[in-house]
Structure 1
Amino acid sequence: MGPILLVGRLALRDLRRRRVEAVLLLLAIMAATTTLTLGLVLRDAAGDPYQSTREATGGPDVVASAGKAEGLSALRELAGAPGVIDHSEPYPVTPARLQASGRTSDAQAVGRDAAPASIDQPKVIQGGWVGDGGVVVEAAFAGALGVRVGDPVTLNGRSFEVVGVAVTAAMPPYPGASCIVAVGCAHGATPEELSELPADLLQNPGLVWLTRADVRSLTPDPGSLSHVMNLKLADPDTAQAFVDANPPESRTAPRLVSWENILEEATELAGDSQILMLIGAWLLGLLAVAGLSVLVGGRMADQTRRVGLLKAVGGTPSLVAAVLLAEYVLVAVVAAAAGLTVGSLTAPLLTESGAGLVGSVGTPSVTMSTAGVVTAVAIGVAVVATVVPTVRAARSSTVDALTDSPRLPRRIGWLIAISARLPVPLLLALRVAARRPRRVVLGAASIAITVSGIYVLLVLNAFLDTQLLTGGYGDAQVEVLRHVLLVWTVTLLSLAAVNAVVITWATVIDNRHSSALARALGATPREVSAALAAAQTLPALAGAVLGVFPGGLALFAAINAITGGDGDRAALPSPWQLLALVPATVLVVAALTAVPARLGGRRPVTETL
C-alpha cells in the first residue's frame, strides 16, 4: 500500500487501541479551540447588528448637540459646513425623571415630528411612533425598566402612555447610551465622582422620544432646552476627521460625535466578552500544550516496543515519526471541528446584549477565516507538543526499543542524602520527581496557569459587582459577562483536571519498573500509590503559590494593558481567598491523582518486572 494509506491505517489503529488517552487528548485541544472560536465569533457579534440598525434607521454620520439659544445658531451653521450633504432640523432635548413600573430613572427626552425623517428615523419594533401624549422608549431602556406598549409612565410628574419601542443608530443602546452634552450627565461615574458633581446632572440616563410640544411642556423655561442635529456627509468614512476639524471652542459650541464612536460604544460589551474569551483561549492553549507534552511523553514510553517493531520490519525513522505525529494531527483536526461546532452553538448565549439594535445578534456565524485560524491553532498545538518526543522516539535504537529496558535513574547525591531519612512515600516521591524534572516543571506550570486564571476570575467577578452599583453595565450586560466568566471557569478547571490526571498517569507508566522494584524490596502498594500522588502534589503546591504571586498579578496587569482598563479601581481578592486558594488547589490535585496513582501502585510485581 502507499505510504499515506499506511500511515493513516497505523495511526487509526493505535488510536482505537488507546481510546481513553485519545479522548483525553481530544478534550484538551477541544477546550482551547472552543474558547478561541467564541473569542473570534464575538469579535463582530455586535458590529453587524449595528450596521443593520444604521441602514434601517438612516443613521447619521455625525451627531451634533448644543445647549440653549446661543448654541442653536451654531448648529444651523454646521449644516452648511464643507462635506455636509444633508441634515435634520435641530430637535429639542430636555432632561427628565422617568417613573415606570415602580422604578425611577433619569432620561433624555428628545422632541421629534410625527412625520418620518430622512436621517435618523428610529425604527419602531413594537407599537407606533410619537403622538400627542405618547412616548416612545429606546428598546434597551424599555427592557431595563420592564415597560411595554400601553404602560403608563410619568416624565417630570406628567403622565404619558408608552406608544412604542424603537431602536436608533444615533446613540448606543442603554445603559451605554451617550449623554447629550448640552443636557449634562454623570454617565458611568463612580460614587466618589458623583459626590463631587452637581446634583442636577443626570446619572446614566436612558433615551425617550416625544413630540416637540410635549418636550417643551416638560420644562418651565423653553430657553433652557438643548438641541441635537443629525448630519449626513458625502463620505461617511470622513466622519471622525470632520469631528476633529470642528472642535468645540467654548462651552456653548456644538459637541460632535461620529458614527465610529457610537459603533465603538455600542459594541463595547461584545468587545469585552471577546477579550475575556481570547485571554481564556491563550491560557487554555498553554494548558493544552503542557498537558499534551506530558501525554505524548507518556504515550511514547508506552509505545517503545511498537516503535521497535515498526523499525524492525523496515520502517524508516521518517515513517515512524509520520505515524506517531499523524495520530495527534488527526485528533487535532477532529478537536478543531468539535470546538468550532460547540463555539458556534454557545456564542448566542454570550451575545444577548443586542437589545437596542436591529439584527440577529444571537446567531453569529463562523466564517471561513475563523475556521481556518482555529484549525491552524489546533494543529499547531498538537505539533508543538509532539514533535520533539516523536523525533526522539523515531531516532531511538531498534534493539533498545524492542527490549523496552527501563530508564536508568539519575544519581543525585544531595537528593539521596535528604530523602534517605524521610518516610517511604516521600522518599519515593522525591526520587520519582527527580527522574523527570521537565515533567515536574510542566506540572507546576499547569497549576500556576490555572491558579492565575482563578485569581483573575475573582477580580473580574468583584469588578462586575461594582459595575451594578456604579451603573457601568446594566443587569442584562453583567449577566452576559458572568456567562462568559462561567464558560471560562468551567473550561479552565476541566482542562486543569484533565492535565492533573494525564500527568499522574504518565508518571505511573514511566515509573512502572521502579515502582515494581520498590515493592519487591518491601514497599507496600499503599506507600507506592502515596508516592506517585505526592510526586504531583509537591509541584502543585509550588505552582499554586506562583499562580497567586506573581502569576495572578501579572496576568491581571496584562489584561489591563490590553483593554486599557484602570486596575486601580478593581477590587483585588481578599487575603483569606488567596490563603484558601493555595491549600484548596493542593487538595484538589491530591484527590484527582489518587485514583490513577492507586491503580498504578497495585500492578502485579512479577508481570511488570
Structure 2
Amino acid sequence: MGRILLVCRLAVRDLRRRRTETALLLLAVMAATTTLTLGLVLRDASGQPYLSTRAATAGPDVVASVGQASNLAELEKLAAAPGVTGHGGPYPVAAAKLAVAGRTSDVQAVGRDAASAPVDRPELVQGSWAGGGGVVVEAAFANALSVRVGDEVTLNGRPYKVTGVAVTAAMPPYPGSSCVVPCMNGAGDDAPSGVLRNPGLVWVSQADALGLGADAYLMSLKLADPGQAQAFVEANRGVQAQAWTTILDDATDLAKDSQILLLIGAWLLGLLAVASLSVLVGGRMADQTRRVGLLKAVGGTPGLVAAVLLAEYVLVAAVAAAAGLVAGSLTAPLLTESSAGLVGSAVTPPMTLYTAVVVTAVALGVAVVATAVPAVRAARSSTVAALADSPRPPRRVGWLIAMSARLPVPLLLALRVAARRPRRVVLAVVSIAITVSGIYVLLVLDAFLTAQPLVGGYGSAQVEVLRHVLLVWTVMLLALAAVNAVVITWATVLDNRHSSALARALGATPRDVTTALAAAQVLPALAGAVLGVFPGGVALFAAISAITGGDSAKVTLPSPWQLGVLVLATVLVVTVLTSVPARLGARRPVTELL
C-alpha cells in the first residue's frame, strides 16, 4: 500500500485501541475550537437584529442635533447639503424625569405628532401613536421598567398615558441611547445637576415636548450613499451628528464585550489544550515504546514512525475542529439574544471560509506543537531499547536525595516522582495557574454584574447574556482543567510503573504509592493556584479591562477569604481527581510490572 495510506491506517487503528484517551484528546481540542468559533461568529450573528430594525423603520444614515432653537438653521443647512436625499424633522427634544410605580428614570422626550416620515419611522410593536397627553415608550426602555400600554406615568410631574411601545434605528436600544440633551451613560456616580444619567427614550406630541421645556432639536438624514455616513459627519462638525455605523456599534456593544471574553477564553482553553495534549502525548509515547520498536524492526524509518505518531493527533485535531465549528456556530445565537428594542433575532450566520480556516489552523497548530517533539524523540530512539521497553533510569540529584531521605515514605516518593519529570511539573503548574486565573476573572465579573442595575450600561436581559458567556467559560475551563489533572496523574502512573513497583517490592504499601502519586500532583497544584491568583488573575483582569476600555477601579475584587477558599478548593479538587487514577495504578501486581 502507499505510504500515506499506511500511515493513516496505523494511526486510526491505534486510536481505536485507545478510545478513552482519544475521547480526552477530542474533548481538549474541541473545547478550545468551540470557544474560538463563538468569538469569531458572535459579531456577525448579533448585528442582524439592528439591520432588520433599520430596514423596517427606514432608519436614518445620519442623526444630527443642536442645542438651541436659534441653531435650527444649522440643521436646515444639513438637510440641503450635497448627498442628502431625504430628512425627517427637526423634532424638539426635552430632558425629563419619568416616574412609574415608584420608580424614577431620566428620559429624552422627542416631540413627534406622527410616526410616519420619509426618514426614521418608529415601528409600533404595541398600541398606537401618542396624541396630546399620551406617550410612546421605546421598547427596551419599556421592558426595563415593565411598562405596558395603558399604564399611567408622569413626566416632570405631569400625568401621561402610555399609548404605545415602539422600536427605532435612530438610537441604540436602552440603556445605550445616544445623548441629544446633556447626559451620561454607564455606571458611575450620580450625574451632575442638569445632566441626565442613562436616559431612556420616549415620544410625545410636539406641543407636549415644548411644554416640557424642549431645549434641543433632532433631525434624521438619508444619504445617497449610506457608506459615506461617517465621512459626512466628519465634514459637518458644526453640529452634533452620529452615523448609522456608530449607532450599530453601540447597539452591538454587548456582542463586542461578549466576543472579547470568548476570544480570551479561547486562548486560555487553547493553552490548556496544549498542556493537556503535551502530557497525553508524553504518556502515550511511554506506553507505545514497544510499538515504536516493532514498527522500526519491520522496516519503518524514523520518519515513518514520527509520521504515524503525529498523524494520530492531527486526525483528532481535524475532527475536533469540525465539531467545534458546528457547535460554536449553533450556540452563537444563544449568546446574542436580541435586545427588546430591536426587531428580528440573532441567526446562525453562514460559516465563512475565514472562520473555518482560522479554527482549523489553531486546532492543527495545537496538535503539532504538542506532539512534534515527543514524536520525533520517540522515532529516533534505539530499536533494541524500544523493544526491550526498559525503564527510564532516574536522575540522581544529591540535594533532593538529602532533603527527601528523612521524609515519610509517601512524601519521599512524591518528591522523587516529581523530580523525574520536571517539565511535566511545569505543565501542571501552568495548567492550574491558567484555570485559577480564569476563575479569578469570573469571580470579579460576576460581582460586577451583580453589583447594581444598569451596571456598565447593561440592562437585565443583557446581563443574562453576559452570564451565559461566563457560564460557557466556567464549564469549559473547569472541564478541561479536570481532564488535565486526570491525564497528568495517569501519565505519571504509566511513567513511574517500574519505579513504583520497585518501591513496593522494597516495602512500600499500595497506599504509600497511591498517596505519593497523588501528592506529586497536589504540590504543583498548590503552587499553580497561588500563581493563578497573583500575578495571573490580576494580570488577566487588567488585560481584559484594557481591551474593553472598562474602569477596573470601579469593580470589587475578591476578598482575601474568597481567594483563600479558591486556593484550598483547587487543591482539594485536584486531590480528589488524582487519587482515582493513582489508586488504579497502584493496584497492579508488582511481579507483572517488574
TM-score (norm 1): 0.93
Quote the residue 2:460 is aligned against: 475
Q: Which residue matches 1:400?
A: 385
Taking a change above 3 Å as real, the CA distance of residues 234 and 172 of structure 1, as seen in their structure-2 partners, is same
Does residue 520 of the first structure (1) align with residue 505 of the second (2)? yes
Task: Give the C-alpha shift of residue 574 in structure 1.
Answer: 1.2
**Does the residue aligned with 1:592 lie in a helix, a strand or coil?**
helix
Return the letter of the residue paired with 2:206.
R
The answer for the alignment partner of 1:444 in structure 2 is: 429
1:205 aligns to what?
199
Query: Do structure 1's residue 602 and structure 2's residue 592 form an aligned pair?
Result: no
Shift of 1:132: 4.7
Please say which of residues 358-367 and 435-444 is displaced more in the overlay: 358-367
Please tell me whether residue 507 in structure 1 is matched to residue 492 in structure 2: yes
For 2:62, give the aligned amino acid: V
Report the counterpart of residue 439 of structure 2 in structure 1. Answer: 454
In the alignment, what sits opposite 2:4? Answer: 4
**One-letter code of the match for 2:45?**
A
> Relative to 1, partners in 2 of residues 1:467 and 1:176: Cα closer, same or farther, differing over 3 Å?
farther
Q: State the shift of 1:86 in Å.
A: 2.7
> 2:223 matched to which residue of 1?
233
Structure 1 residue ranges without an equivalent (≥5): 249-253
The amino acid that maps onto 1:21 is E
Cα distance in structure 1, aligned partners of 2:172 and 2:100: 22
**2:142 pairs with 1:142:** yes
SS of 1:89's equivalent in the other structure is strand
Q: 2: CA distance between counterparts of 1:599 and 1:500?
A: 15
Q: More deviation in 123-132 or 519-528?
A: 123-132
What amino acid is the match of 1:3? Answer: R
The aligned counterpart of 2:98 is 98
Q: What letter corresponds to residue 40 of structure 2 in structure 1?
A: L
After superposing the two structures, state which structure 1 stretch, 19-28 or 105-114, moved more.
Answer: 105-114
Q: How far apart in 1 are the matches of 2:155 and 2:352?
A: 46
Structure 1, 316-325 or 284-293: larger mean CA deviation:
316-325
Name the SS of the counterpart of 2:44 in structure 1: coil
Q: Is the 8 A contact 2:229 2:244 kept in 1?
A: yes
Identity within the alignment, %: 75
Query: CA 1:115–1:30 in structure 2 vs 1: closer, same or farther (change >3 Å)?
Result: closer
Among 180, 183, 186, the residue aligned to 1:185: 183
Query: Which of the residues 246, 266, 269 maps onto 2:236?
Result: 246
Counterparts in 2 of 1:528-567, with a 5 A limit?
528-567=513-552
What aligned pairs does 1:119-158 form with structure 2 within 5 A after superposition? 119-158=119-158
1:331 aligns with 2:329: no
C-alpha displacement at 1:424, in angstroms? Answer: 0.6
Q: CA deviation at 1:133?
A: 4.7
Instruction: Tell me, yes or no, if the aligned pair for 1:204 and 1:471 is still in contact at 8 Å.
Output: no
Q: Distance in 1 between matches of 2:225 and 2:562?
A: 55
Structure-1 residue corresponding to 2:165: 165
Task: Provide, for residues 279-325 of structure 1, a one-character-per-residue CA deviation record: whole Å limited to 9, x for no partner.
Answer: 00000000000011000000010011111111112222222222211
Whether the aligned pair in 1 keeps the contact of 2:339 and 2:462 (CA below 8 Å) is no
Does structure 2 retain, via aligned residues, the 8 Å contact 1:353–1:476?
Answer: no
Residue 485 (1) aligns with residue 470 (2):
yes
Does 478-487 or 276-285 show the bigger shift? 478-487
State the Cα distance separating 1:397 from its structure 2 match.
Answer: 1.4
Task: Tell me the SS of whatever aligns to 1:169.
Answer: coil
User: Alignment partner of 1:314: what SS?
Assistant: coil
Matched, 1:216 2:210: yes
CA distance in 1, matches of 2:147, 2:341: 14
CA gap of 1:298–1:166, structure 2 versus 1, over 3 A, is same
Q: Which moved more, 1:124-133 or 1:29-38?
A: 124-133
The residue identity in structure 2 corresponding to 1:18 is R
Instruction: State the one-letter code of the partner of 1:79.
Output: A
Equivalence for 2:293: 308
Counterpart Cα distance in 2 of 1:144 and 1:533: 52
**Residues 572-603 of structure 1 deviation map (CA, whole Å, 9 limit, x = unaligned):** 22111122222221111111101001111111
Q: Is the 8 A contact 1:112 1:209 kept in 2?
A: yes
**1:251-330 correspondence to structure 2 within 5 Å:** 254-330=239-315
Provide the rounded CA distance (Å) in 2 between the counterparts of 1:361 and 1:538: 46
Partner of 2:61: 61
Please give the root-mean-square deviation of Cα atoms over the aligned residues, in Å: 2.0
Distance 1:356 1:368 in 2: 32
Task: Name the CA shift for 1:13/1:300 in 2 (closer, same or farther; >3 Å).
Answer: same
Instruction: Report SS of the residue matched to 1:46.
Output: helix
CA distance in 1, matches of 2:222, 2:335: 34
Q: Shift of the alpha carbon at 1:536? A: 0.6
Alpha-carbon distance between aligned partners in 2 of 1:210 and 1:363, rounded to the nearest angstrom: 37
Cα shift at 1:150: 4.3
CA contact (8 A) 2:177 2:200 kept: yes
Q: CA deviation at 1:469?
A: 6.0
**Residue 457 of structure 2: SS of its match in structure 1?**
coil
CA distance in 2, matches of 1:365, 1:467: 37
In structure 2, C-alpha distance between the alignment counterparts of 1:136 and 1:177, rounded to whole Å: 16
One-letter code aligned to 2:219 = M
Q: Deviations over 1:398-433 (max 9, x none)?
A: 111111010011011111111111111111111111
CA distance in 1, matches of 2:288, 2:85: 74
1:332 deviates by 1.2
Aligned letter for 1:371?
A
- Counterpart-to-counterpart distance in 1, 2:74 and 2:529: 62
Cα offset for 1:115? Answer: 6.0
Paired residue secondary structure (1:385):
helix
Query: C-alpha deviations, 1:528-571, integer Å up to 9, x for none?
Result: 01110111111111111111111112212221222222222222
Q: Deviations over 1:254-299 (max 9, x none)?
A: 3222222212211110000000000000000000000110000000
Give 2:413's aligned residue: 428
Contact 1:352 1:362 in 2 (8 A): no
Partner of 1:382: 367
Cα 1:27–1:389 shift into 2, 3 Å: same
> TM-score under structure 2 normalisation?
0.95
